[in-house]
């Protein structure tokens, strides 16, 4: 191999209380797809932010095509030929596609020319996009196309992609991989960040594995088993959840023809959603983010009210009840957003225990708060769910993601729910905490609770659900038994490639090859 | 009561004069809000501009120097707000209120020795021939230059936001400061510049009241125009030309109520005097149905922690 | 290189220390301002902050301290509830005026009847008047989503015009020989808020302390206080916890309106004596500073209100003895809020001084 495109040696970056990157070194070759593999919190994002000039390393150095490279800001990095597609989109919802693209370029051409270039590039790479549309109206997959095209218009030498598939359906992932292979063929290097092993085995030439900020190994993914890579990534053996097969009981939660207009203008409306959940059963609801997950949780938790008889628990209509009336009936929920929705960031764990525990744990009398009771409830959660924290006086935002998530789930599980609805129970949580959370949900089901798990992690849903359905643009697919579902079937339930035909891309690919 | 004493041509001409301070303060605040910052200190910056402009005009004998001084005064005061909200990450609502309370006190202090003085007069831009055209002449061609400058600023702001790259960056910062930061734009710098522009415009608007519209200095003479300017931005749905329209509408109401007072209409003076404020509330109620055009990051603090 | 680092947890001690530091910095900056105005800064500061409490004529000024602090406490307590919940009532001045008008109107309606029942009726009327004025922005916010900041402020100007109209018309003293202003209600025992004028004790002070105690219990012992705090810090979490935002807005604006209205009555039926143009001296706005300076905490508000009352009294004193312009005090109060807001940064962030490194 010739001189590498980018050589990183000894990069270190520390934040108060945590070393995000500790002496990381690796090389990316020309026209190579290089994987950066690691769990959430392993330091992948910090590392690429240093390459992109958003974060300055504390020590270490980088060489770009053999000469020193220390971008002081993203502009300098872009000028050298680095482009980045962000995990959480760096897009502006109220602006149109062309304006969004222009903002990511150093010297954008006049708008009219830019719109033409966007059309050209998007057709070349099989990523159809209308430059005049407002980004707020686009689907998650389309938004990612905007980001990719923004990068491609600058003819990058290195394209960084941070968890690009987390917002895509399996079919859309196929299309993305086609695009990336074309880019590679044209000589572009790609730094591909993910924690999904199969993707990396399929796409990448080389992989660097990070754990707790350190480079713990390199491999050629095609020649390494997923199991070996997983062990490098996680570090210790995982406790896989055990699902004790229980016979499902009576129908507890019955949702019939539920439609709901969201209060937020950029939200998704729910359309004619119908399903039921039995005692002792876990229903897994998949789907790409932004297809009505938040709205469904709000409707079930009582934050949004629904018409009479659309929601029934044990035969009683609960659509008009607020969150606390539902808690009295044992209907509990844990929303996706930990900080700001499930918990108040600046409030103590005691106060956060009071937040949902007031009714079922009997933490008020005549409206006066029993602070001693709230503290002991918080202590129980901390103990039962192994929440690592100095004590219940600590503010929620001081906890790590995994610990706070254990607290949030534990708070609901310990209140003995008859129905529990959770959204993204293990998002951004380390593997050990994720396994513990999944196990607690399964234990709860074994005790006879009816559980709805909304998640974008298909592996997780396949592991713990008895039955599976998918949300797509506010509609729910048919519910099917989880056992025996293939990835293609799941993909189709999730809405396929959102109106795009895989075949068409293959045509485009053929055209691109002949052109 | 003698309604025939109200001359429609003079009414429209004076409406434009009454609207100009509101227009200037409103367009400045529009740019500030487009960058994602809510500055409730408009009233304070206006009144400080009013006294700076007045004092410097009197001392220098030149209204133009005074107007420049007013813009500088407003901008300097706005820097306090910029420091509090952009660097010290203070709550924008509280900081804006602090700016207004401080500005009112400061202006009263500075204006002690200027009460009852007449400032040097600003020459009207009587364009020969054109200003002699009946009806249109007095309405369109015989005002002071600042009034035309105000309209020009609206046009320039519109073009800046719509066509320029800097304007695009400003709007981007107001929509999502996190995304703008991720792309490498200096969010705090953009916002500080916008805040200073807002301060300069508010200062100019204040000086227009003390030097041209009234013209004299009295404590608290802006009488809530800065607050109405804030409402005007909501009314305009953050669109520059609608600020012009709204300012003329509010200007028309205040001139009309003054004319009605002078004409001796049977409504007590106090009720006429409160009408601009009541109409502002009414307009806010009507416009608040649609919030979608507000910049998405409006009022949120930004700190690049990681 | 100086950099800000977010603290893992907000500091619990700093919020108590920063107001004190802010006061000290303001005194220094204020002293500089007085020096610019050609006054001896040490003497000016001593006249404002020392003499009213410990000086030669302190016996005269000390009682006034509570008289001036009481309305500030009453209004600021109400405002602090809303501010905690992120509901910005900045039109307390208007609610104060309206309470004074409705309360005084009830008192004047009974003239010249004498009864111990008149004054309680006036208090109720004042509370209703202030409450109603506060409910206008509250209702518009919950019904139409209108910004309560602008509406409550616009209503201050409306209330001021109503006050002029009342002083010149409906409530004008028929025996006042044409001068604007109502009859004096402070000199009539049935309508006066004074308990002991010489000692500087009126019912406003009693109500202020009752309000402080109730606010303390509400905020720290009752679920409603928890819900208020929660709504301000994490509105989505509050809805998840079952808090009804509509009810909270109506409650906070209603209570602060009623308290401001009562403060207006105690003032007009005591120190001011009559409904007249300009009887309001901006307590409704100063109370905003008091609420922030007192950290939105009931006890803090009492201390902050005493300090502000001191600047009012000391300012008047300095005006008389040193010729310090009255506006200087307003500047002084504004500066205090500035410094406090700037120092608040330290509660959530710490300043890290990093060695410069070559990279």
B167-210 pLDDT, tens per residue? Answer: 999 999 999 998 999 888 999 999 999 999 999 999 999 999 99
pTM for the structure as a whole:
0.87
Question: Rg of chain A's alpha carbons, rounded to an integer?
Answer: 24
Backbone angles phi, psi at A30, to 5 degrees: -65, 140
Cβ contact B182–A92 (<8 Å): no
- Chain C residues with CB under 8 Å of A323 CB are 239-242
**C30 lies in some domain:** no
What SS3 class is residue A468?
A: strand
Q: Are A213 and A20 in contact (CB under 8 A)?
A: yes
DSSP A345: T
Whether C184 contacts C274, CB under 8 Å:
yes
Question: How far away is chain B from the Cα of C235, in angstroms, using its nearest Cα?
Answer: 14
Residue C114 confidence (pLDDT):
87
Tokens read off for C142: 């919950």
8 Å CB contact of A356 and C241: yes
The parent domain of residue C223 ranges over 38-324
Give the pLDDT score at A235. Answer: 67
Q: Domain count of chain C?
A: 1
Output the CATH code of domain A251-484: 3.40.50.300
Chain A interface, mutation test: which of B33, B184, B295, most A Cβ atoms within 10 Å? B184
Residue scoring higher pLDDT (A40 or C205): C205
Contacting residues of B for C330, CB less than 8 Å apart: 101, 104-105, 108-109
- Look at residue C283 in the predicted model and tell me its pLDDT: 92
Reported as a pLDDT band with limits 50, 70 and 90, residue B270 is confident
Q: What is the pLDDT of residue C193?
A: 87
C-alpha span between C312 and C179 (Å, rounded): 28
Binary contact (C234, A343; C-beta < 8 A): yes
B266 contacts chain C (CB < 8 A): no
Residue of A nearest to B172 (CA): A92
Per-residue pLDDT of chain A (515 residues; tens, 9 = 90+): 467 899 999 999 887 667 788 999 999 999 999 999 887 667 888 899 899 998 889 999 999 998 999 998 888 898 899 999 886 668 898 899 999 999 988 888 888 899 999 998 888 887 888 899 988 888 777 888 898 888 888 889 999 998 888 777 778 888 889 889 988 998 999 999 887 778 888 889 999 998 888 888 888 988 888 777 777 776 655 455 556 555 678 999 999 999 998 877 667 889 999 999 999 999 999 887 778 899 999 999 999 999 988 999 999 999 999 999 999 999 999 999 888 999 999 999 999 999 999 999 999 999 999 999 999 999 999 999 989 888 999 999 888 888 899 999 999 999 999 999 999 998 877 778 888 999 999 999 999 999 999 998 777 888 899 999 999 888 999 898 888 787 778 878 876 555 443 334 344 444 444 43
| Start-end of CATH 3.40.50.300 domains in chain A | 6-237, 251-484
H helix intervals, A11-162? 44-51, 74-80, 97-103, 111-124, 140-152
Q: Which of B153, B221, B206 is nearest to B22 (CA)?
A: B206
* Contact residues on chain B for A103, CB-CB shorter than 8 A: 168-169, 172, 180, 183, 185
Q: Contact C236/A341, CB-based, under 8 Å?
A: yes
What is the structure's pLDDT at C353? 66
CATH, range A6-237: 3.40.50.300
| C16 found inside a domain | no
Q: Which of A6-20, B249-263, C162-176, C205-219: highest mean pLDDT?
A: C205-219
- Asked if the Cβ–Cβ distance from B277 to C155 is below 8 Å, we say yes
Predicted ipTM beyond 0.90: no
Q: Does B229 touch chain C (CB under 8 A)?
A: no
C-alpha distance from C316 to closest chain B C-alpha (Å): 15
Nearest CA in chain A to B176: A92
The fraction of chain B above a pLDDT of 90, given in percent, is 52
Q: How confident is the model at residue B306 (pLDDT cuts 50, 70, 90)?
A: very low
For A103, nearest residue in chain B (alpha carbons): B169
Contact across the interface for A74 and B183, Cβ inside 8 Å: yes
Predicted confidence at residue A511, as pLDDT, reads 43
The answer to which of A164-168, C141-145, C278-282 has the lowest mean pLDDT is A164-168
**Residue C4 domain-assigned?**
no
CA distances from A463 to A98, A199, A311, A435, A482 (A): 42, 19, 27, 11, 9
Task: Return the HEC string of C218-287.
Answer: HHHHEHHHHHHHHHHHCHHHHHHCCCCHHHHHHHHHHHHHHHHHHHHHHHHCCCCCCCCCCCCCCHHHHH
Contacts of B25 in chain C (CB under 8 A): none
Q: Out of C158, C169, C330, whose CB is closest to B104?
A: C330
Between positions 34 and 53 of B, the ones with CB within 8 A of C are: 40
The pLDDT, as a whole number, for residue A497 is 53
Interface of B with A in 276-305 (CB under 8 A): 292, 295-296
CA distance C315 to chain B (A): 13
How many Cβ pairs closer than 8 A exist between chain A and C? Answer: 78
Q: What is the per-residue DSSP string for C86-115?
A: T-----HHHHHHHHHHHHHHHHHHTTT---
- pLDDT of amino acid B243: 94
pLDDT digits (tens, 9 = 90+) for C56-96: 888 888 888 999 999 999 999 999 999 999 999 999 999 99
CB contact (8 A) between residue B182 and residue A95: no
Tokens 């297809």 correspond to A291
- Across residues B63-78, what is the average pLDDT? 95
pLDDT at residue C265 tops 50: yes
Residue C112 preceded by cis peptide, ω within 30: yes
Q: Which two tokens stand for residue C160?
A: 């001021």
Q: Does B179 sit within 8 Å of A78, measured CB to CB?
A: no
Q: What sign for the dihedral angle of Cα B109, B113, B116, B122?
A: negative
| Minimum distance, in Å, between the CA of residue A489 and any CA atom of chain C | 35
Count other Cβ atoms within 10 Å, centred on residue C106. Answer: 21
- Asked if residue C6 belongs to a domain, the reply is no
Cα distance between residue B64 and residue A133, in whole Å: 46
Q: Residue B224 and residue C154: Cβ atoms within 8 Å?
A: yes
Domains of chain B and CATH, by start: 3-114+137-287 (1.10.3470.10)
Q: Which two tokens stand for residue B245?
A: 């329209």
- Chain B closest CA to C331's CA: distance in Å? 5
- Among the partner-chain residues B182, B292, B306, the one whose CB lies closest to the CB of A90 is B182
Q: Which of B150-159, C189-198, C299-308 has the lowest mean pLDDT?
A: C189-198
- Percent over 90 (pLDDT), chain C: 54
Tokens 């910056």 belong to which residue? B45
Is A491 in a helix, a strand, or coil? helix
Cβ contacts (< 8 Å) between C349 and chain A: which residues? none
CA B174 to CA B178: how far, in whole Å? 10
A286 contacts A490 by C-beta, under 8 angstroms:
yes
A144 touches chain B (CB under 8 A): no
Higher pLDDT: B50 or A17? It is B50
Please tell me which residue, C251 or A128, carries the higher pLDDT value.
Answer: C251
Report residue B32 as tokens.
């500030």
Cross-chain residue pair B168–A104, CB shorter than 8 Å: no
pLDDT at A501: 38
């Amino acid at each position: 191999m010739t001189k590498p495109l980018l050589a990183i040696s000894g990069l270190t970056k520390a934040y108060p209380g945590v070393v995000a990157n500790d002496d990381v070194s690796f090389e990316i070759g020309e026209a190579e797809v290089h994987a950066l593999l690691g769990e959430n919190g392993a330091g992948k994002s910090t590392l690429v932010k240093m390459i992109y000039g958003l974060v300055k390393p504390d020590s270490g150095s980088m060489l770009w095509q053999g000469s020193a490279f220390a971008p002081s800001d993203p502009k300098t990095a872009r000028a050298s030929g680095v482009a980045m597609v962000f995990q959480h989109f760096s897009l502006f919802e109220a602006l149109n596609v062309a304006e969004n693209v222009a903002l990511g370029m150093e010297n954008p051409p006049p708008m009219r020319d830019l719109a033409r270039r966007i059309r050209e590039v998007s057709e070349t790479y099989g990523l159809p996009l209308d430059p005049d549309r407002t980004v707020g109206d686009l689907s998650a997959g389309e938004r990612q196309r905007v980001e990719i095209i923004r990068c491609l218009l600058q003819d990058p030498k290195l394209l960084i992609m941070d968890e690009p598939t987390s917002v895509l359906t399996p079919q859309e992932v196929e299309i993305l991989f086609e695009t990336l292979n074309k880019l590679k063929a044209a000589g572009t290097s790609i730094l591909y960040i993910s924690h999904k092993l199969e993707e990396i085995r399929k796409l990448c030439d080389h992989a660097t594995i990070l754990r707790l900020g350190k480079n713990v190994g390199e491999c050629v993914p095609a020649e390494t088993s997923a199991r070996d890579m997983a062990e490098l990534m996680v570090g210790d053996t995982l406790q896989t959840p055990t699902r004790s097969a229980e016979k499902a009981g009576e129908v507890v939660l019955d949702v019939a023809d539920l439609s709901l207009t969201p209060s937020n203008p950029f939200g998704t409306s729910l359309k004619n959603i119908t399903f039921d959940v039995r005692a002792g059963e876990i229903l897994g609801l998949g789907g790409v983010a932004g297809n009505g997950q938040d709205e469904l949780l709000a409707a079930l938790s009582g934050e949004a009210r629904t018409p009479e008889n659309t929601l029934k628990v044990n035969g009683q209509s609960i659509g008009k009840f607020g969150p606390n009336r539902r808690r009295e009936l044992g209907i509990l929920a844990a929303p996706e957003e930990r900080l700001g929705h499930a918990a108040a960031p600046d409030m103590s764990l005691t106060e956060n225990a009071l937040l949902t525990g007031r009714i079922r744990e009997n933490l008020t009398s005549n409206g006066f708060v029993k602070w001693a009771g709230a503290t002991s409830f918080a202590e129980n959660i901390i103990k039962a769910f192994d929440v690592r924290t100095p004590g219940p006086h600590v503010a929620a935002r001081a906890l790590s993601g995994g610990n706070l998530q254990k607290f949030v789930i534990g708070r609901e599980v310990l209140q003995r729910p008859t129905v529990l609805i959770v959204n993204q129970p293990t998002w951004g949580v380390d593997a050990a905490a994720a396994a513990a959370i999944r196990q607690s949900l399964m234990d709860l089901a074994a005790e006879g609770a009816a559980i709805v798990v909304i998640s974008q992690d298909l592996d997780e849903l396949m592991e713990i659900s008895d039955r599976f359905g998918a949300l797509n643009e506010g509609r729910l697919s048919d519910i099917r038994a989880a056992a025996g579902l293939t990835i293609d079937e799941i993909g189709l339930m999730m809405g396929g490639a959102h109106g795009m035909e895989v075949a068409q891309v293959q045509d485009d690919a053929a055209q691109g090859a002949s052109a | 009561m003698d309604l025939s004493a109200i001359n429609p041509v003079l009414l429209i001409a004076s409406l434009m004069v009454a609207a100009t301070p509101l227009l200037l303060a409103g367009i400045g605040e529009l740019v500030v809000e487009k960058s994602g910052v809510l500055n409730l200190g408009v009233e304070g910056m206006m009144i400080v501009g009013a006294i700076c402009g007045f004092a410097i005009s009197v001392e220098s004998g030149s209204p133009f120097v005074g107007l420049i001084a007013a813009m500088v005064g407003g901008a300097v005061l706005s820097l306090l707000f910029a420091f509090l909200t952009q660097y010290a990450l203070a709550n924008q609502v509280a900081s804006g209120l602090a700016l207004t309370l401080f500005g009112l006190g400061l202006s009263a202090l500075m204006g002690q020795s200027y009460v009852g003085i007449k400032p040097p007069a600003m020459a009207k831009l009587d364009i020969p021939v054109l200003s002699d055209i009946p009806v249109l002449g007095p309405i369109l061609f015989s005002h002071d230059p600042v009034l035309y400058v105000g309209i020009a600023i609206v046009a320039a702001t519109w073009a800046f936001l719509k066509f320029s790259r800097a304007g695009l960056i400003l709007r981007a910062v107001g929509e999502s400061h996190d995304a703008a930061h991720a792309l490498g734009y200096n969010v705090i710098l953009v916002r500080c510049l916008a805040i200073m522009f807002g301060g300069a415009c508010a200062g100019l608007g204040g000086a227009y009241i003390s030097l041209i519209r009234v013209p004299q200095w009295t404590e608290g003479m802006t009488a809530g125009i800065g607050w109405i300017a804030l409402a005007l931005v909501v009314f305009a749905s953050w669109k520059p030309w609608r600020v012009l329209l709204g300012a003329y509408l509010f200007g028309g109401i205040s001139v009309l109520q003054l004319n009605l007072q002078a004409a001796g209409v049977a409504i007590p003076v106090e009720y006429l005097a409160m009408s601009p404020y009541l109409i502002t509330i009414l307009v806010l109620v009507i416009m608040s149905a649609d919030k979608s055009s507000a910049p998405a990051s409006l009022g949120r603090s930004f700190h690049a922690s990681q | 290189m100086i950099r800000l680092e977010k603290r893992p947890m907000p500091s619990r001690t700093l919020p108590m220390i920063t107001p004190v530091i802010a006061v000290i910095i303001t005194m220094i900056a204020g002293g500089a301002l007085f020096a610019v105005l050609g006054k001896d800064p040490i003497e000016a500061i001593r006249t404002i902050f020392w003499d009213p409490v410990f000086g030669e004529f302190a016996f005269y000024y000390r009682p006034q301290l509570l008289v001036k602090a009481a309305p500030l406490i009453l209004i600021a307590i109400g405002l602090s509830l809303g501010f905690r919940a992120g509901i910005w009532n900045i039109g307390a001045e208007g609610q104060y005026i309206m309470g004074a008008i409705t309360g005084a109107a009830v008192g004047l309606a009974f003239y010249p009847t004498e009864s111990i029942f008149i004054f309680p009726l006036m208090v109720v009327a004042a509370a209703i008047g202030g409450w109603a004025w506060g409910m206008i922005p509250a209702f518009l916010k919950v019904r139409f989503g209108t910004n309560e900041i602008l509406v409550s402020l616009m209503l201050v100007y409306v209330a001021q015009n109503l006050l002029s109209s009342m002083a010149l018309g409906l409530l004008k003293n028929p025996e006042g020989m044409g001068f604007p202003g109502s009859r004096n209600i402070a000199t009539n025992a049935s309508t006066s808020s004074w308990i002991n004028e010489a000692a500087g004790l009126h019912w406003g002070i009693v109500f202020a302390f009752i309000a402080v105690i109730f606010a303390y219990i509400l905020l720290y012992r009752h679920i409603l206080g928890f819900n208020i705090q929660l709504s301000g810090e994490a509105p989505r979490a509050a809805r998840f916890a079952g808090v009804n935002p509509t009810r909270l807005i109506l409650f906070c604006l209603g209570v602060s309106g009623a308290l401001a209205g009562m403060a207006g009555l105690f003032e007009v039926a005591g120190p001011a004596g009559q409904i007249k143009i300009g009887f309001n001296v901006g307590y409704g706005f100063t109370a905003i500073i008091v609420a922030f300076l007192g950290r939105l905490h009931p006890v803090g508000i009492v201390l902050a209100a005493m300090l502000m009352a001191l600047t009012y009294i000391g300012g008047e004193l300095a005006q008389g003895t040193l010729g310090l312009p009255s506006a200087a005090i307003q500047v002084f109060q504004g500066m205090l809020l500035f410094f406090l807001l700037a120092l608040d940064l330290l509660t959530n962030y710490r300043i890290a001084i990093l060695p410069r490194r070559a990279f």
